Copies of this chain bind each other. A is one copy, B any other.
Amino acid sequence: MEIKELVLEIAQKAREASQALPLIDSTRKNKALRAMAAALEKKGPAILRENRKDLQQAAAAGQPRAFLDRLQLTEKTLAEMAGGLREVALLPDPVGEVTGLWLRPNGLQVGRMRIPLGVIGFIYESRPNVTVDAAGLCLKSGNAVILKGGSEAIHSNRALARLLQEVLIREEIHPGAIQVIPTTDREATAELLQLEELIDLIIPRGGEGLIRAVTAQSRIPVLKHYKGVCHIYVDEGADPVLAEEVCFNAKVQRPGVCNAMETLLVHRRAAKKFLPAMVARFREAGVEIRGCQETMKIVGRGTGLRPAEEADWYEEYLDLILAVRVVPDMTAAIRHINRYGSQHTEAIITRDYDRAREFLKTVNSSVVLVNASTRFNDGQQLGLGAEIGISTSKLHAFGPMGLNELTTTKFIVFGQGQVRS
Protein backbone atom coordinates (compact mmCIF):
# COMPACT_ATOMS: atom_id res chain seq x y z
CA MET A 1 0.00 0.00 0.00
CA GLU A 2 1.20 3.50 -0.65
CA ILE A 3 2.18 5.63 2.33
CA LYS A 4 -0.53 8.13 1.54
CA GLU A 5 -3.29 5.53 1.54
CA LEU A 6 -1.89 3.85 4.63
CA VAL A 7 -1.93 7.07 6.66
CA LEU A 8 -5.38 8.01 5.41
CA GLU A 9 -6.74 4.60 6.36
CA ILE A 10 -5.23 4.88 9.85
CA ALA A 11 -6.70 8.36 10.31
CA GLN A 12 -10.15 7.27 9.14
CA LYS A 13 -10.07 4.34 11.53
CA ALA A 14 -9.06 6.73 14.34
CA ARG A 15 -11.95 9.07 13.48
CA GLU A 16 -14.34 6.11 13.64
CA ALA A 17 -12.97 5.10 17.01
CA SER A 18 -13.26 8.68 18.27
CA GLN A 19 -17.02 8.50 17.76
CA ALA A 20 -17.31 5.39 19.92
CA LEU A 21 -14.79 6.29 22.67
CA PRO A 22 -16.71 9.11 24.43
CA LEU A 23 -19.45 6.60 25.25
CA ILE A 24 -17.23 4.01 26.95
CA ASP A 25 -17.52 4.35 30.71
CA SER A 26 -14.56 4.72 33.06
CA THR A 27 -14.82 1.22 34.44
CA ARG A 28 -14.20 -0.29 31.03
CA LYS A 29 -11.39 2.12 30.15
CA ASN A 30 -9.69 1.46 33.47
CA LYS A 31 -10.00 -2.28 33.02
CA ALA A 32 -8.32 -1.97 29.62
CA LEU A 33 -5.53 0.18 31.07
CA ARG A 34 -4.84 -2.41 33.76
CA ALA A 35 -4.93 -5.20 31.18
CA MET A 36 -2.32 -3.28 29.17
CA ALA A 37 -0.14 -2.99 32.27
CA ALA A 38 -0.43 -6.73 32.87
CA ALA A 39 0.37 -7.50 29.23
CA LEU A 40 3.49 -5.33 29.38
CA GLU A 41 4.72 -7.32 32.35
CA LYS A 42 3.82 -10.67 30.84
CA LYS A 43 5.22 -10.01 27.37
CA GLY A 44 8.25 -8.08 28.57
CA PRO A 45 10.85 -10.42 27.05
CA ALA A 46 9.31 -10.17 23.55
CA ILE A 47 9.30 -6.35 23.77
CA LEU A 48 12.91 -6.28 24.95
CA ARG A 49 13.89 -8.54 22.05
CA GLU A 50 12.45 -6.07 19.55
CA ASN A 51 14.06 -3.17 21.43
CA ARG A 52 17.45 -4.87 21.06
CA LYS A 53 17.06 -4.69 17.27
CA ASP A 54 16.65 -0.93 17.53
CA LEU A 55 19.64 -0.68 19.86
CA GLN A 56 21.84 -2.72 17.52
CA GLN A 57 20.89 -0.53 14.55
CA ALA A 58 21.58 2.63 16.51
CA ALA A 59 24.92 1.32 17.78
CA ALA A 60 25.90 0.29 14.26
CA ALA A 61 25.00 3.80 13.07
CA GLY A 62 27.44 5.14 15.67
CA GLN A 63 24.83 6.90 17.83
CA PRO A 64 26.22 8.33 21.09
CA ARG A 65 25.70 6.79 24.53
CA ALA A 66 22.96 9.28 25.56
CA PHE A 67 20.95 8.39 22.43
CA LEU A 68 21.18 4.69 23.20
CA ASP A 69 20.15 5.37 26.81
CA ARG A 70 17.00 7.12 25.68
CA LEU A 71 16.21 4.30 23.29
CA GLN A 72 16.83 1.40 25.64
CA LEU A 73 13.99 -0.44 27.35
CA THR A 74 14.75 -2.56 30.43
CA GLU A 75 12.68 -4.62 32.85
CA LYS A 76 12.69 -1.53 35.04
CA THR A 77 11.35 0.82 32.33
CA LEU A 78 8.71 -1.77 31.40
CA ALA A 79 7.63 -1.92 35.06
CA GLU A 80 7.51 1.89 35.11
CA MET A 81 5.35 1.94 31.97
CA ALA A 82 2.98 -0.59 33.54
CA GLY A 83 2.93 1.45 36.75
CA GLY A 84 2.15 4.58 34.74
CA LEU A 85 -0.86 2.90 33.11
CA ARG A 86 -2.17 1.76 36.51
CA GLU A 87 -1.77 5.32 37.81
CA VAL A 88 -3.76 6.71 34.87
CA ALA A 89 -6.46 4.13 35.62
CA LEU A 90 -6.68 5.59 39.15
CA LEU A 91 -7.07 9.21 37.97
CA PRO A 92 -10.58 10.65 37.77
CA ASP A 93 -12.15 10.39 34.31
CA PRO A 94 -12.50 13.88 32.81
CA VAL A 95 -15.13 12.86 30.23
CA GLY A 96 -18.66 13.87 31.22
CA GLU A 97 -17.49 16.01 34.14
CA VAL A 98 -19.74 19.06 34.42
CA THR A 99 -17.70 22.10 35.40
CA GLY A 100 -20.25 24.50 36.78
CA LEU A 101 -24.01 24.59 36.31
CA TRP A 102 -25.76 27.94 36.66
CA LEU A 103 -29.30 29.19 36.53
CA ARG A 104 -30.40 31.90 34.11
CA PRO A 105 -33.12 34.40 34.99
CA ASN A 106 -35.54 32.59 32.63
CA GLY A 107 -35.06 29.28 34.45
CA LEU A 108 -32.63 27.72 31.96
CA GLN A 109 -29.95 25.72 33.72
CA VAL A 110 -26.68 26.06 31.81
CA GLY A 111 -23.46 24.11 32.34
CA ARG A 112 -20.30 22.95 30.66
CA MET A 113 -19.51 19.29 30.16
CA ARG A 114 -16.06 17.94 29.34
CA ILE A 115 -15.83 15.92 26.13
CA PRO A 116 -12.80 14.42 24.34
CA LEU A 117 -11.07 16.46 21.63
CA GLY A 118 -11.41 13.62 19.12
CA VAL A 119 -8.32 12.36 17.32
CA ILE A 120 -4.83 13.28 18.50
CA GLY A 121 -1.68 12.86 16.44
CA PHE A 122 1.37 12.30 18.59
CA ILE A 123 4.77 12.72 16.97
CA TYR A 124 7.88 11.94 19.00
CA GLU A 125 11.49 10.83 19.01
CA SER A 126 13.58 8.14 20.63
CA ARG A 127 11.93 7.10 23.92
CA PRO A 128 9.61 4.15 23.17
CA ASN A 129 7.99 4.52 26.62
CA VAL A 130 6.22 7.61 25.24
CA THR A 131 4.18 5.22 23.06
CA VAL A 132 2.60 3.65 26.13
CA ASP A 133 2.31 6.84 28.22
CA ALA A 134 0.55 8.76 25.44
CA ALA A 135 -1.71 5.83 24.57
CA GLY A 136 -2.82 5.52 28.20
CA LEU A 137 -3.62 9.23 28.62
CA CYS A 138 -5.50 9.43 25.31
CA LEU A 139 -7.57 6.32 26.03
CA LYS A 140 -8.52 7.56 29.49
CA SER A 141 -9.56 10.96 28.11
CA GLY A 142 -11.67 9.31 25.40
CA ASN A 143 -9.48 10.38 22.47
CA ALA A 144 -8.25 8.19 19.64
CA VAL A 145 -4.49 8.53 19.15
CA ILE A 146 -2.21 8.06 16.16
CA LEU A 147 1.39 7.57 17.25
CA LYS A 148 4.32 8.33 15.00
CA GLY A 149 7.62 7.56 16.70
CA GLY A 150 11.10 8.00 15.31
CA SER A 151 12.62 5.53 12.87
CA GLU A 152 15.25 4.65 15.50
CA ALA A 153 12.56 3.02 17.70
CA ILE A 154 10.45 1.38 15.02
CA HIS A 155 10.84 -2.21 16.21
CA SER A 156 10.06 -1.31 19.80
CA ASN A 157 7.10 0.83 18.83
CA ARG A 158 5.63 -1.81 16.53
CA ALA A 159 5.92 -4.43 19.26
CA LEU A 160 4.28 -2.11 21.82
CA ALA A 161 1.52 -1.24 19.34
CA ARG A 162 0.81 -4.92 18.73
CA LEU A 163 0.53 -5.52 22.45
CA LEU A 164 -1.81 -2.55 23.01
CA GLN A 165 -3.94 -3.54 20.00
CA GLU A 166 -4.38 -7.08 21.33
CA VAL A 167 -5.68 -5.70 24.61
CA LEU A 168 -8.08 -3.30 22.85
CA ILE A 169 -9.57 -6.16 20.86
CA ARG A 170 -9.83 -8.41 23.92
CA GLU A 171 -11.54 -5.59 25.85
CA GLU A 172 -13.90 -4.90 22.94
CA ILE A 173 -12.71 -1.32 22.41
CA HIS A 174 -12.51 -0.03 18.83
CA PRO A 175 -8.99 -0.92 17.62
CA GLY A 176 -8.71 2.52 16.01
CA ALA A 177 -8.36 3.98 19.51
CA ILE A 178 -4.59 3.41 19.59
CA GLN A 179 -2.60 3.05 16.38
CA VAL A 180 1.09 3.26 15.60
CA ILE A 181 2.14 4.26 12.08
CA PRO A 182 4.20 1.19 11.25
CA THR A 183 6.66 2.80 8.87
CA THR A 184 9.80 4.87 9.22
CA ASP A 185 9.03 6.86 6.11
CA ARG A 186 9.15 10.63 6.66
CA GLU A 187 6.40 11.04 4.09
CA ALA A 188 4.03 9.48 6.61
CA THR A 189 4.43 12.41 9.00
CA ALA A 190 4.02 14.95 6.21
CA GLU A 191 0.85 13.16 5.12
CA LEU A 192 -0.55 12.96 8.65
CA LEU A 193 -0.15 16.71 9.13
CA GLN A 194 -2.41 17.45 6.15
CA LEU A 195 -5.45 15.55 7.44
CA GLU A 196 -7.20 18.43 9.17
CA GLU A 197 -10.65 16.94 8.61
CA LEU A 198 -9.75 13.76 10.46
CA ILE A 199 -7.29 14.85 13.18
CA ASP A 200 -8.09 17.49 15.81
CA LEU A 201 -4.73 18.14 17.45
CA ILE A 202 -1.05 17.42 16.92
CA ILE A 203 1.31 17.09 19.89
CA PRO A 204 5.00 16.85 18.95
CA ARG A 205 7.50 15.82 21.59
CA GLY A 206 11.22 15.95 21.00
CA GLY A 207 13.96 18.38 20.08
CA GLU A 208 13.34 21.90 18.84
CA GLY A 209 14.12 20.79 15.27
CA LEU A 210 11.33 18.21 15.24
CA ILE A 211 8.84 20.65 16.75
CA ARG A 212 9.66 23.44 14.31
CA ALA A 213 9.38 21.07 11.36
CA VAL A 214 6.01 19.75 12.53
CA THR A 215 4.65 23.26 13.16
CA ALA A 216 5.77 24.53 9.77
CA GLN A 217 4.10 21.65 7.92
CA SER A 218 0.92 21.15 9.90
CA ARG A 219 -2.54 22.24 8.79
CA ILE A 220 -3.81 20.93 12.13
CA PRO A 221 -3.44 22.93 15.39
CA VAL A 222 -0.21 22.06 17.22
CA LEU A 223 0.36 22.19 20.99
CA LYS A 224 4.05 22.56 21.61
CA HIS A 225 6.92 24.06 23.41
CA TYR A 226 10.12 24.92 21.62
CA LYS A 227 12.43 25.34 24.58
CA GLY A 228 12.70 26.09 28.26
CA VAL A 229 15.03 28.98 29.01
CA CYS A 230 14.02 29.04 32.69
CA HIS A 231 15.10 31.78 35.10
CA ILE A 232 15.40 32.18 38.84
CA TYR A 233 15.60 35.71 40.19
CA VAL A 234 17.16 36.01 43.66
CA ASP A 235 15.74 39.15 45.21
CA GLU A 236 17.35 41.60 47.63
CA GLY A 237 16.83 40.28 51.14
CA ALA A 238 16.11 36.68 50.02
CA ASP A 239 16.95 33.94 52.53
CA PRO A 240 20.42 32.94 51.28
CA VAL A 241 20.17 29.32 52.43
CA LEU A 242 16.77 28.84 50.81
CA ALA A 243 17.96 30.61 47.65
CA GLU A 244 21.03 28.38 47.42
CA GLU A 245 19.06 25.16 47.90
CA VAL A 246 16.41 26.07 45.34
CA CYS A 247 18.91 27.30 42.73
CA PHE A 248 21.12 24.25 43.20
CA ASN A 249 18.14 21.95 42.77
CA ALA A 250 16.85 23.81 39.73
CA LYS A 251 20.20 23.53 37.91
CA VAL A 252 21.77 20.30 39.11
CA GLN A 253 19.07 17.79 40.02
CA ARG A 254 18.37 16.96 36.36
CA PRO A 255 20.05 19.42 34.02
CA GLY A 256 18.92 17.80 30.75
CA VAL A 257 15.22 18.63 31.05
CA CYS A 258 13.19 21.63 29.94
CA ASN A 259 12.32 22.90 33.43
CA ALA A 260 15.93 23.11 34.64
CA MET A 261 17.25 26.63 35.35
CA GLU A 262 19.37 28.06 32.55
CA THR A 263 19.92 31.64 33.76
CA LEU A 264 20.30 32.92 37.31
CA LEU A 265 19.47 36.59 37.90
CA VAL A 266 20.67 38.14 41.17
CA HIS A 267 19.77 41.50 42.71
CA ARG A 268 22.84 43.71 42.98
CA ARG A 269 22.44 44.11 46.73
CA ALA A 270 22.19 40.34 47.23
CA ALA A 271 24.98 39.40 44.85
CA LYS A 272 28.07 40.02 47.01
CA LYS A 273 26.92 37.79 49.83
CA PHE A 274 25.11 35.20 47.75
CA LEU A 275 27.11 34.64 44.58
CA PRO A 276 30.57 33.54 45.82
CA ALA A 277 29.22 30.64 47.92
CA MET A 278 26.60 29.71 45.29
CA VAL A 279 29.14 29.67 42.47
CA ALA A 280 31.58 27.65 44.54
CA ARG A 281 28.91 25.06 45.19
CA PHE A 282 27.97 24.93 41.50
CA ARG A 283 31.64 24.58 40.51
CA GLU A 284 32.01 21.68 42.95
CA ALA A 285 29.09 19.95 41.24
CA GLY A 286 30.78 20.45 37.88
CA VAL A 287 28.59 23.32 36.68
CA GLU A 288 30.29 25.67 34.23
CA ILE A 289 29.40 29.30 34.91
CA ARG A 290 29.03 32.01 32.25
CA GLY A 291 28.88 35.26 34.16
CA CYS A 292 28.12 38.87 33.31
CA GLN A 293 30.86 41.43 33.99
CA GLU A 294 29.60 42.15 37.48
CA THR A 295 29.43 38.44 38.33
CA MET A 296 33.03 38.06 37.16
CA LYS A 297 34.07 40.93 39.37
CA ILE A 298 32.27 39.64 42.45
CA VAL A 299 33.30 36.01 42.20
CA GLY A 300 36.78 36.83 40.99
CA ARG A 301 38.83 35.70 38.04
CA GLY A 302 40.81 32.53 38.36
CA THR A 303 37.74 30.70 39.63
CA GLY A 304 37.17 29.12 36.24
CA LEU A 305 34.27 31.38 35.22
CA ARG A 306 33.77 32.31 31.60
CA PRO A 307 32.36 35.67 30.62
CA ALA A 308 28.85 35.42 29.23
CA GLU A 309 28.15 36.57 25.71
CA GLU A 310 24.86 37.96 24.43
CA ALA A 311 24.04 34.53 22.96
CA ASP A 312 24.23 32.92 26.40
CA TRP A 313 21.10 34.68 27.59
CA TYR A 314 19.09 32.94 24.85
CA GLU A 315 20.63 29.54 25.45
CA GLU A 316 18.86 26.39 26.63
CA TYR A 317 21.98 24.47 27.66
CA LEU A 318 20.22 21.29 28.86
CA ASP A 319 23.56 20.60 30.54
CA LEU A 320 25.68 21.53 33.57
CA ILE A 321 26.16 25.10 32.32
CA LEU A 322 24.59 28.19 33.88
CA ALA A 323 24.43 31.82 32.80
CA VAL A 324 24.56 34.29 35.70
CA ARG A 325 23.66 37.96 35.60
CA VAL A 326 23.56 40.65 38.26
CA VAL A 327 20.60 43.04 37.87
CA PRO A 328 19.86 46.38 39.55
CA ASP A 329 16.32 45.41 40.61
CA MET A 330 13.31 43.19 39.95
CA THR A 331 12.10 45.34 37.07
CA ALA A 332 15.39 44.71 35.28
CA ALA A 333 15.08 40.99 36.02
CA ILE A 334 11.59 40.90 34.51
CA ARG A 335 12.80 42.90 31.49
CA HIS A 336 15.56 40.30 31.00
CA ILE A 337 13.02 37.46 31.26
CA ASN A 338 10.66 39.10 28.75
CA ARG A 339 13.47 39.65 26.31
CA TYR A 340 15.38 36.38 26.45
CA GLY A 341 12.93 33.93 28.02
CA SER A 342 10.71 31.31 26.42
CA GLN A 343 7.58 31.72 28.60
CA HIS A 344 8.25 28.32 30.15
CA THR A 345 9.09 28.55 33.88
CA GLU A 346 10.30 31.43 36.05
CA ALA A 347 10.85 31.68 39.82
CA ILE A 348 11.55 34.45 42.31
CA ILE A 349 13.28 33.88 45.63
CA THR A 350 12.16 36.61 48.00
CA ARG A 351 10.95 37.48 51.49
CA ASP A 352 9.16 40.60 50.24
CA TYR A 353 5.36 40.35 50.08
CA ASP A 354 4.81 43.03 47.43
CA ARG A 355 7.51 41.84 45.09
CA ALA A 356 6.29 38.23 45.37
CA ARG A 357 2.83 39.37 44.25
CA GLU A 358 4.21 41.67 41.57
CA PHE A 359 6.41 38.93 40.07
CA LEU A 360 3.50 36.44 40.00
CA LYS A 361 1.28 39.02 38.34
CA THR A 362 3.75 40.43 35.82
CA VAL A 363 5.65 37.41 34.54
CA ASN A 364 3.51 35.59 31.98
CA SER A 365 5.29 32.26 31.72
CA SER A 366 3.37 28.99 31.83
CA VAL A 367 4.49 28.38 35.43
CA VAL A 368 5.58 31.18 37.78
CA LEU A 369 6.86 30.23 41.23
CA VAL A 370 7.73 31.97 44.50
CA ASN A 371 10.40 30.30 46.61
CA ALA A 372 10.33 26.95 44.84
CA SER A 373 12.38 25.15 42.22
CA THR A 374 11.60 25.52 38.50
CA ARG A 375 11.75 21.72 38.38
CA PHE A 376 8.15 21.65 39.63
CA ASN A 377 6.80 22.54 36.17
CA ASP A 378 5.46 19.05 35.65
CA GLY A 379 1.89 17.73 35.55
CA GLN A 380 2.51 15.16 38.25
CA GLN A 381 4.27 17.63 40.56
CA LEU A 382 1.58 20.30 40.18
CA GLY A 383 -1.19 17.83 40.88
CA LEU A 384 -2.65 17.24 37.39
CA GLY A 385 -1.72 13.57 37.43
CA ALA A 386 0.35 12.21 34.56
CA GLU A 387 1.21 14.72 31.86
CA ILE A 388 1.28 14.38 28.08
CA GLY A 389 3.61 17.37 27.62
CA ILE A 390 4.10 21.03 28.38
CA SER A 391 2.67 23.81 26.23
CA THR A 392 4.24 27.22 25.92
CA SER A 393 1.67 28.32 23.38
CA LYS A 394 -1.14 30.13 25.15
CA LEU A 395 -4.06 28.77 23.17
CA HIS A 396 -6.08 25.87 24.65
CA ALA A 397 -3.43 24.89 27.22
CA PHE A 398 -0.50 26.78 28.73
CA GLY A 399 1.88 24.80 30.93
CA PRO A 400 1.76 21.10 31.76
CA MET A 401 -1.07 19.21 30.06
CA GLY A 402 -2.85 16.43 31.91
CA LEU A 403 -6.08 14.59 31.18
CA ASN A 404 -8.27 17.71 31.39
CA GLU A 405 -6.16 19.44 28.75
CA LEU A 406 -6.99 16.57 26.36
CA THR A 407 -10.65 17.56 26.56
CA THR A 408 -12.81 20.51 25.61
CA THR A 409 -16.19 21.53 27.04
CA LYS A 410 -19.57 21.72 25.37
CA PHE A 411 -22.45 23.70 26.82
CA ILE A 412 -25.41 21.73 28.13
CA VAL A 413 -28.77 23.39 28.71
CA PHE A 414 -31.75 22.07 30.69
CA GLY A 415 -34.99 23.85 29.82
CA GLN A 416 -38.71 23.43 30.19
CA GLY A 417 -39.87 24.99 26.96
CA GLN A 418 -37.96 28.29 27.01
CA VAL A 419 -38.00 30.28 23.76
CA ARG A 420 -36.20 33.47 22.85
CA SER A 421 -38.07 36.71 22.51
Contact = CB atoms under 8 A, between A and B. Distances in A.
Interface stretch (A51-59, A81-89, A298-306, A406-414): A406-414
Nearest to A216: B219
Interface in A185-233: 200-201, 221
Interface in A364-382: 364-373, 375-377, 381-382
Interface in A347-396: 360-362, 364-373, 375-377, 381-383, 393-396
In the A-B complex, the 8 residue pairs with the smallest Cβ-Cβ separation, listed nearest first, are: A372-B415, A249-B419, A375-B420, A369-B413, A242-B417, A394-B408, A396-B396, A367-B411
B23 A371 contact: no
Which range contains the number of A residues in contact with the other chain? 35 or more
A399 interface: yes
A382 B365 CA distance: 32
Interface of chain A: mostly helix, strand, loop or mixed: mixed
B110 A375 contact: no
Contact of A19 (B102, B253, B338): B338
Nearest to A369: B413
A370 B413 contact: yes
A121 interface: no
Nearest to A413: B369
Nearest to A196: B215
A200 to B, nearest CB: 6
B369 A415 contact: yes
A366 B201 CA distance: 17
18 contacts: A19-B338, A22-B361, A113-B361, A115-B394, A200-B394, A245-B417, A246-B419, A364-B410, A366-B410, A367-B411, A367-B413, A372-B413, A372-B417, A372-B418, A375-B419, A381-B420, A398-B409, A399-B410
